[in-house]
Amino acid sequence: MKHRKMMFMTVILVAAMLPAANIVQAKYESNEKMGIPKDVDSVHSTYLPVVMDKDFQTTMEEDKKMKPQIMERQKTLLERRYDLSDNPSDVMMSAERKPVQKGVRVKLPDGMTWKKLSEMSPEQIREQGLFPEGFLPLPHVKHETGGQVIPPDQIKEINNLEQRNLERFDVTFDLPNHLLPEFPPPIFLTTRPDLGDVSQGKLLSIRNYYEIMHGIVTPVQMEGLRLLLTPFPQQQFNQTDDRKVEKASLGITCFDCHSNGHTNAAFHLNPDTRPHVARLRLDTVSLRGVFNQQIHGSKRSLRSIEDFTEFEQRSAYFDGDHVTAAKKGVHLPDRASQVVMMAQMQNILDFPPTPKLTVFGRLDPKKATEVERKGEEIFFGKGRCAECHPAPFYLDDKMHNLQVERFYKPHMSNQKWITGVGPIKTFTLRGIKDSPPYMHDGRLLTLEDTVEFFNIVTELKLTKEEKEALTAFMLCL
């Protein structure tokens, strides 16, 4: 009898231990499969939770308590990577509402100079850990949660105009205002170049768009614009217990990030990559000149503006997760009656005028300075920039793998797994001075930074004068 009882107990014990052991083992195995370190929390590997394990109030209180710590963590990271100071140049952005910031902002490791660094091989830089941290992929302000984060100017103006609150309770925007695009950005239309900026210095919203655009756009474009300015539920801005705004929200509009059809530098995580820790921060791109682009999204490579418009709400709004989207009330715009109109409106957003460029997109030698002409020569010659950014639109409609991971070892940084990023779409350089920060994740703050980046990454060995000339040329685009 005693013996049988012991056997019974042993069976129970083993049975109780087995599943636990399986779970731990399974998690470690899958971390290996996902290519991330063993001790990294790999929840949200493919799916996000649908049923929350806490009620909304509890989550909000915990998030609010964590917020100062999270913001401090990001501030430390940004200050380690960059010189964030306000150092305006005398060049203004297109509507002359904000100066372009100047100077290289990425910090070098102690004792290093840009010249010395450019003389080292990728292997040496990688082995000695000398790659500037600001050249690495940039983590989201709260990478473990991710989601859309809107800059203060936009939050304030939308609150004024619509009394809709875009402020999250768990995070705030992380970059200083002087490093962002001018606000509100000007609007140039391909259909009415003679009018110049049609924004009247205002931010388009559902309250004022009709008045501002009446008489200038067609009924179809007007209806497209209405939809681009209408809030629809999104992962963090919605009405469920899994939201990051205090009051239940109607949602986000396309132009909450693409302000006036340009960008306000709002960011989120890309919907395309898993597991969650490996996802990329994405800086909002401008929609100016999108009519001339054949592929859309830094990784998605969607082939039409209509596809992107339709899928932005399916994928980007909900982290590429159609399961949680259903719970939060995803709006799926109708292709025939809505998407095409939204696309038609986006397709008339033009680049800002460039008085120094000819119809071939090249500098008019009579109008350019000597430094600008020198910069153009480097761009199309020694710098090899034009091989991926050819005139007249300074893009090649291709994705390229810059193989930046030749210069660093994979590691964790603020809950982001820093590893090879793979192929990314070449962005256009037309109107580039208007859309800092730069690169898909906004990791570079000035055009000078992008020149140093390509000088190292494509191993160009440019002189100081050549680098300055390149920046001067890009300011003409």
SS3 416: strand
> Of residues 295-314, which lie at the interface with ligand HEC (CB under 6 A)?
296-300, 305, 308-309, 312-313
Q: Is 446 an interacting residue with respect to ligand HEC (CB under 6 A)?
A: no
User: Which residue in the set 74, 259, 284, 347 belongs to the binding site for ligand HEC (CB under 6 A)?
Assistant: 284
Give the one residue of 199, 249, 270, 347 binding ligand HEC; rule: CB under 6 A: 270
- CA-nearest of 357, 367, 347, 352 to 431 is 352
Distance CA 226, CA 209 (A): 8
Residues whose CB falls within 8 Å of the CB of residue 224, separated by 6 or more in sequence, listed in order: 341, 342, 343, 344, 345, 346
139 binds ligand HEC (CB under 6 A): no
Q: How far is the CB of 231 from ligand HEC (least distance, A)?
A: 10
Q: In terms of C-beta density within 10 A (0-12 exposed, 13-18 middle, 19 or more buried), how is residue 366 classed?
A: exposed
State yes or no: residue 424 binds ligand HEC (CB under 6 A).
Answer: yes
Q: Per-residue string for binding with ligand HEC, 339-368, x by CB under 6 A? A: ---x---x----------------------
Please say which residue, 196 or 390, places its beta carbon nearer to ligand HEC. 390
**Nearer CB in complex with ligand HEC: 31/158:** 158
Q: Does 282 bind ligand HEC (CB under 6 A)?
A: yes
The smaller minimum CB distance to ligand HEC, of residues 249 and 313, is found at: 313
Strand partners, 149: 267
- Amino acid identity, residue 297? G
Q: Pull the structure tokens for residue 316.
A: 């980007």
Task: Write the DSSP symbol of residue 332.
Answer: -
> What is the spatial distance between Cα 80 and Cα 89, in angstroms, rounded to a whole number?
23
Q: From CA 217, how far away is CA 346, in angstroms rounded?
A: 12
Report the residue from 173, 204, 427, 456 that binds ligand HEC according to the rule CB under 6 A: 427
Q: How far is the CB of 200 from ligand HEC (least distance, A)?
A: 23
Minimum CB separation of residue 279 from ligand HEC in Å reads: 11
**Phi, psi angles (nearest 5°) of residue 286:** -75, 150
Nearer to ligand HEC, 365 or 381 (CB): 381
The least CB distance from residue 331 to ligand HEC, in Å, is: 9
Binding flag, residue 168, ligand HEC (CB under 6 A): no
Do 462 and 383 touch, CB atoms closer than 8 A? yes
Q: Residue 230 is encoded by which pair of tokens?
A: 């209408």
* Interface with ligand HEC, residue 452, by CB under 6 A: no
Residue of the chain from 206, 252, 357, 472 that contacts ligand HEC (CB under 6 A): 252
* The amino acid at 91: V
C-beta separation of 282 from 440 below 8 A: yes
User: Alpha-carbon distance 259 to 251, whole Å?
Assistant: 16
Distance, in Å, from the CA atom of 440 to the CA atom of 281, rounded to the nearest integer, reads: 8
Q: Which CB atom, from 108 or from 457, has the smaller least distance to ligand HEC?
A: 457
Q: Is 302 exposed, middle or buried (0-12, 13-18, 19+ CB in 10 A)?
A: middle
268 bridge partner residues: 282
Reported in sequence order, the residue ranges of 345-437 that DSSP labels E, i.e. its strands, are 399-400, 411-413, 416-418, 424-425
Q: Does 233 bind ligand HEC (CB under 6 A)?
A: no
Residues 6+ apart with CB under 8 A from 331: 232, 233, 251, 313
Task: Pick one of 233, 383, 407, 415: the residue that binds ligand HEC (CB under 6 A).
Answer: 383
197 interacts with ligand HEC by CB under 6 A: no
Q: Given the rule CB under 6 A, which of 112-120, 213-221, 321-329, 379-387 is the region that contacts ligand HEC?
A: 379-387
Per DSSP, 418 falls in state E
- Reading the block at residue 56, the tokens are 């909304």
**Shortest Å distance, C-beta 143 to ligand HEC:** 15
Q: Is 459 in the site for ligand HEC (CB under 6 A)?
A: no
Considering the rule CB under 6 A, would residue 429 count as an interface residue with ligand HEC? yes
Residues that bind ligand HEC (CB under 6 A): 148, 252, 254, 256-258, 266, 268, 270, 282, 284-285, 287, 290, 293, 296-300, 305, 308-309, 312-313, 316, 342, 346, 383-385, 387-389, 400, 402, 424, 426-427, 429, 432, 435, 438-440, 447, 450-451, 454, 458, 470
